[in-house]
Chain A
Amino acid sequence: MVDIARRDVLTMAGAVGVGVAIPVSSAAAEAPPAAARSYQFFDLNEVAFIEAFVDHLIPADDLTPSGTELGISIYIDRQLAGAWGRGARMYLLGPWAAGTAQQGYQLPLPPADLYRCAIRAVEAHCAAVHGASFDRLQPAQRQQIVQALSEGRLPLQEVPAQAFFDMAYANVMEGLFADPIYGGNKNKQGWKLVGFPGVIAAHAENIEHFRGKPYPVEPLGIADLS
Chain B
Amino acid sequence: MTTKLKEVDVVIVGMGWTGGIMAKELSDAGLTVVGLERGAPRSDAGFSVPMIRDELRYAVRNELFMDVSRDTLTFRNKPAERALPMRRLGSFLPGEGVGGAGVHWNGQTYRLSPHDHALRSRVEGRYGKSFIPQDMQLADWPMSYAELEPYYDKFEYVAGISGKAGNIAGRIQEGGNPFEGPRAREYPNPPLKPSLASEMFTETTNKLGYHPFPRPAANMSRPYTNPDGIQLGECQYCGFCENFGCEANAKASPHITVIPAALRNKNFSLKPYAWVTRVNLAPDGKRATGVSYTSVLTGEEFEQPASLVILCAYGFGNVHLMLLSGIGKPYDPVSDTGTVGKGYCYQVATVVQAFFDDRNFNPFMGAGSLGVVIDDFNGDNFDHGPVGYIGGASIYSASLGGRPINQRAVPPGTPRWGTEWKKATARWYNHTLQMSVQGSNMASRYNYLDLDPTYRNAFGLPLMRMTYNFTDNDEKLSAHLTTVAHDIARAMGPTHLGPKTPRRAPYSIVPYQSTHNTGGAIAGHDPGKSALNRYLQSWDVPNVFVMGANAFPHNSGYNPTGAVGALTYWAADAIRTKYLKDPGPLLHT
Contact = CB atoms under 8 A, between A and B. Distances in A.
Nearest to B238: A201
Contacts of B129: none
Interface string B45-66: 0000111011110001110000
Nearest to A67: B417
Contact of B508 (A102, A179, A181, A211): A102
B422 A63 contact: yes
Nearest to A99: B84
Nearest to A210: B362
A91 B69 contact: yes
Interface in B537-561: none
A92 B419 contact: no
A203 B238 contact: yes
Interface in A169-225: 169, 172-174, 177-179, 181-182, 190-191, 193-199, 201-204, 206-208, 210-215, 220-222, 224-225
A103 B423 contact: no
B195 A196 contact: no
A174 B195 contact: no
Contacts, number: 179
B230 interface: no
B147 interface: no
Interface stretch (B158-166, B402-410, B439-447): B402-410
- Chain B contact residues (Cβ within 8 angstroms of A): what range? 35 or more
Contacts of B50: 199, 220-222, 224-226
B475 interface: no
B85 A91 contact: yes
Interface residues of A, number: 64
B49 A179 contact: no
Contacts of A220: 50
A194 B455 CA distance: 44
B86 A104 contact: yes
Given A194-B426, A195-B430, A93 B456 contact: yes
A152 interface: no
A177 B193 contact: no
Contacts of B429: 194-196
B64 to A, nearest CB: 12
Contact of B196 (A61, A101, A198, A212): A212
Contacts of B267: none
Interface in B55-89: 55-56, 60-62, 67-69, 72, 75-77, 81-82, 84-89
20 contacts: A87-B69, A89-B67, A90-B88, A92-B87, A93-B85, A101-B508, A102-B510, A169-B416, A178-B56, A179-B55, A181-B54, A201-B364, A207-B362, A207-B365, A210-B365, A212-B359, A212-B360, A214-B360, A222-B54, A226-B50
